[in-house]
Structure 1
Amino acid sequence: MFMKLFIKRLQNDIPLPKYMTSGAAGMDLYAAVNEDTVLKKGEIKLIPTGIAISIDSGYEAQIRPRSGLAIKHGISLVNTPGTIDSDYRGEINLIMINFGARDFIIKRGDRIAQMVINKIETPTIVEVEVLDETSRATGGFGSTGL
Structure 2
Amino acid sequence: MDISTLEYRTAPDPGTEPPSPTTELVVPIADTARYIPSYAHGAEDAGCDLRADIADPITLGPLESAWVGTGVRVALPEGVFALQAPRSGIACNHGITLANAPGVIDPGYRGEVRCKLLNLGGDPYTVQPGERVAQLVIIPFVHARFVPVRELPASSRGEGGYGSTGRL
Provide TM-score, normalisation by structure 2.
0.82
Q: Does 1:102 align with 2:120?
A: no
Q: Quote the offset at 1:9 in angstroms.
A: 4.0
In structure 2, which of residues 91, 98, 104 is the aligned counterpart of residue 83 of structure 1? 104
Q: Does 1:61 align with 2:82?
A: yes
The answer for the alignment partner of 1:5 in structure 2 is 27
Q: Distance in 2 between matches of 1:85 and 1:126?
A: 24
Q: Quote the offset at 1:2 in angstroms.
A: 4.1
Q: Quote the offset at 1:3 in angstroms.
A: 2.9
Q: Does 1:43 align with 2:64?
A: yes
Q: Distance in 1 between matches of 2:31 and 2:101?
A: 23
Contact 1:69 1:75 in 2 (8 A): yes
Alignment of 1:25-40 (within 5 A): 25-40=46-61
User: Aligned partner of 1:123: which letter?
Assistant: A
Q: Quote the offset at 1:79 in angstroms.
A: 1.0
Larger Cα-atom Rg: 2
In structure 2, runs of 5+ residues without a counterpart are 1-22
Q: Structure 1 runs of 4+ off > 6 angstroms? A: none
Contact 2:68 2:114 in 1 (8 A): yes
Q: Distance in 2 between matches of 1:56 and 1:143?
A: 39
More strand by share: 1
Q: Distance in 2 between matches of 1:38 and 1:89?
A: 28
The share of aligned pairs that are identical, in percent, is 35
Q: Quote the offset at 1:108 in angstroms.
A: 1.0
Contact 2:35 2:53 in 1 (8 A): no
Q: Distance in 1 between matches of 2:35 and 2:53?
A: 9
Aligned length, in residue pairs: 144
Two-structure CA RMSD over aligned residues (Å): 1.2
